[in-house]
Amino acid sequence: MSDRFFRRKEDELKARSQKRLPPGQALTNKFPVLHYGPVPAFNPATWDFRIWGEVESPLRLSWEEFNQLPRTRLVMDIHCVTRWSKLDTAWEGVSLRDLVERGILKPLPTARFVFQHAEYGFTANLPLEVCLQENFLLATHYDGQPLSPEHGYPLRGIIGAIPRRDDLNVPYFWKGAKWLRGLEFMSQDRLGFWEQSGYHNDADVWKEQRYA
Ligand X SMILES: Nc1nc2c(c(=O)[nH]1)N[C@H]1C(S)=C(S)[C@@H](COP(=O)(O)O)O[C@H]1N2
- Told to check if 84 binds ligand X by CB under 6 A, we report no
91 binds, among Mo ion, ligand X, none (CB under 5 to 8 A by kind): none
Q: How far is CA 72 from the centre of its chain?
A: 14
| CA–CA dist 95, 4 (Å, integer) | 35
**Element at 3 (helix H, strand E):** helix 3-17
Q: Which residues of 2-20 are buried (b: 16+ CB within 10 A; e: fewer)?
A: eeeeeeeeeebeebeeeeb
Q: Does residue 174 interact with Mo ion by CB under 5 A? A: yes
Please identify, using beta-carbon distances, which residue of 54 and 195 lies nearer to Mo ion.
195
E strand or H helix at 96: helix 96-101
**Separation of alpha carbons 68 and 60, rounded Å:** 13
**Window 149-188: contact mask with ligand X (x via CB under 6 A):** --x---------------------xx-xxxx---------
Using rule CB under 6 A, residue 87 touches ligand X = no
Give the x/- contact pattern for ligand X in 12-51, rule: CB under 6 A. --------------------xxxxx---------------
For residue 108, the partner it binds in Mo ion, ligand X, none, with Cβ less than 5 to 8 A by kind, is none
Contacted by 179, from ligand X, Mo ion, none: CB < 5 to 8 Å by type: ligand X
80 CB-near residues (< 8 Å, 6+ apart): 32, 34, 172, 173, 174
Q: Point out which residues bind ligand X (CB under 6 A).
A: 32-36, 80, 118, 122, 151, 173-174, 176-179, 194
